[in-house]
DNA sequence: ACCTGAACACCGTTCAAGT
DNA sequence: ACCTGAACACCGTTCAAGT
């Protein structure tokens, strides 16, 4: 009888045990965590909130991750994969390095709250190794010897990673709306006492025009200019030998 | 009678109200917060722990700060002041900029947990303006025009700030001992598959030798090399006019 | 003016009990 | 194997009550 069956399905289940259709998975949990963070900020990532989002008990998640920190590390893997997956080197080694740096910045800005959460937790996995190989190959193409390739690899990658996560952090702060608006600090610089800070006062109007993107581009250009200069010297000295 | 007085003093005070000798202050609270963080990590900064440290109720602190966040901002002011106070410019503009960058790094490494906590909360106050004035003055001495002074100011300061706080973050992570030891990731790079990452494999042995300090120095040198190159061009073109 | 203690609305994690 | 519900040991913040 359908009536009987319907009544059976509708009657409250016993207070413990497992409902039929929930069935969590690592992927589902990470997706829910990502959505939760992007919608309500890093502070909203809570086992209880996550459970509610998934329609499950807040402790059910602990069957798939060892704890909250393990979930954060899972988000880190996703972010770095987003940078490296589908990337193809450019025409010149400079193009390659510039494009990769921009992709890292873009990914961090697309998910600023996640970027802040995971910036310092990058577990050395496949995605990261693939990115590193691309960078080192570009420096080899520039004509640098192995030791310099290693030095400049660290200089370039650490700078891009540090700046991108730094920028994401301020973006995430603004998003959480606990702090003042974007242009506030530029206004403060314009108002800073010209008597006490005379050199600063001269350039303050220009400072207001420079955003994070221009700064990122400037840093990248400066670093690659210097690397190119040293590479040319290395090539020249190896030829003269 | 002394007996009576002694008995009076020893008898338990009524359960509410204010004991005679506590008397908190912003300075005392910040000092206790700093000590607590440096001893037991950022996670230990708790109103209840802070109250215990000060021998006071955990809510007493809220009479001097609007909340926990306000305490963190107070710590930020202290850190930036430590960088700028007592700094004197060097012989050349390059010396000045290099020394200031190193001071920032040193301060962040001396208090890594605090640096991480406050890195993105720098409220634009006197200490920061003083530092900015020194940097802009150095770039002026290099021979750059106002707009370039502004651009390179942002490039240099943002890089130093981002890298120093990034490095402090990993130092703080290691300190909290939730993660693996210092050399772990270098070992992983040495073990990365040479077939999948051939270019990386060649330089992996060199990578193991490069620490954060060398990387910081490399970044500073590269940036200042590039700035110097452009400054020389600017001076030359202004002379030819 | 400044501090206390109780209360409120939250956390992450553990674990026996269920299916 | 996987989920639940209760419990435990914590949080930050508010507020009436005290001195």
pLDDT at position A180 is 53
Say what percent of chain A tops pLDDT 70.
Answer: 84
Smallest CA-to-CA distance from A45 within A57, A55, A37 is with A37
Residues whose CB is below 7 A of strand C? A 14, 16-18, 45-49, 58-59, 62, 67-69; B 15-19, 22-24, 51, 56-57, 59-60, 63-64
Query: In the prediction, which pLDDT does A58 show?
Result: 94
Closest nucleotide to the alpha carbon of A61, via C1':
D3
Please report the residues numbered 57 through 86 in chain B whose beta carbons come closer than 8 angstroms to any beta carbon of chain A. 69
CB-CB under 8 Å, A170 with B166: no
From first to last of its 241 residues, chain B has per-residue pLDDT tens of 333 333 333 333 344 555 544 578 899 999 999 999 988 888 899 999 999 999 999 999 999 999 998 898 889 888 988 999 999 999 999 999 999 999 999 999 999 988 988 887 766 678 889 999 999 999 999 999 999 999 999 999 999 999 999 999 888 877 665 555 556 667 778 888 899 999 999 999 999 899 999 999 999 999 999 999 999 998 888 777 6
Asked whether the beta carbons of residue A222 and residue B218 sit closer than 8 angstroms, the reply is: no
Closest-CA distance, A19 to chain B, in angstroms, reads 35
Distance from CA of A120 to the nearest CA of B (A): 6
CB–CB of A111/A165 below 8 Å?
Answer: no
| The pLDDT of residue B175 | 67
- Tokens read off for A68: 């909250």
Residues B124 and B122: their CA atoms lie apart, in Å, by 6
Q: What is d(CA A35, CA A33) in angstroms, rounded to the nearest whole number?
A: 5
Computed over every residue of chain A, the mean pLDDT equals 85
Residue A10 pLDDT exceeds 50: no
Segment A172-224, tens digit of pLDDT: 877 665 555 556 667 778 878 899 999 999 999 999 899 999 999 999 999 99
Contact between the CB of B120 and strand D at under 7 Å: no
Task: Spell out which residues of chain A touch residue B140, defining contact as CB-CB under 8 Å.
Answer: 199, 202
Which among B149, B153, B144, B148 has a CA at the least distance from the CA of B238? B144
Is 90 exceeded by the pLDDT of residue A140? Answer: yes
Q: Is A93 on the interface with B (CB under 8 A)?
A: no
Contact B219, B159 (CB under 8 A): yes
Cβ of A56 near strand D (distance < 7 A): yes
């Amino acid at each position: 009888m359908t009536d009987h069956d319907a009544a059976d399905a509708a009657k409250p289940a016993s207070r413990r045990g497992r409902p039929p259709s929930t069935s969590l998975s690592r992927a589902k949990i990470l997706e829910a965590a990502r959505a939760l963070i992007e919608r309500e900020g890093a502070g909203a990532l809570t086992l209880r909130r996550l459970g509610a989002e998934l329609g499950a008990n807040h402790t059910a998640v602990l069957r798939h991750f060892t704890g909250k920190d393990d979930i954060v590390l899972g988000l880190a893997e996703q972010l770095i994969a987003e940078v490296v997956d589908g990337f193809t080197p450019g025409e010149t080694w400079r193009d390659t390095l510039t494009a990769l740096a921009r992709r890292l910045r873009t990914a961090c800005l697309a998910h600023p709250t996640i970027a802040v959460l995971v910036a310092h937790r990058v577990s050395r996995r496949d995605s990261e190794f693939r990115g590193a190989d691309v960078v080192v190959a570009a420096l080899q193409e520039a004509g640098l010897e192995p030791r310099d390739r290693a030095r400049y690899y660290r200089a370039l990658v650490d700078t891009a990673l540090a700046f991108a996560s730094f920028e994401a952090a301020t973006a995430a702060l603004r998003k959480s709306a606990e702090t003042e608006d974007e242009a506030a600090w530029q206004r403060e610089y314009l108002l800073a006492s010209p008597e006490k800070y005379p050199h600063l006062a001269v350039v303050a109007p220009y400072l207001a025009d420079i955003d994070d993107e221009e700064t990122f581009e400037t840093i990248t250009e400066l670093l690659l200019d210097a690397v190119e200069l040293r590479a040319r010297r290395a090539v020249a000295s190896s030829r003269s030998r």
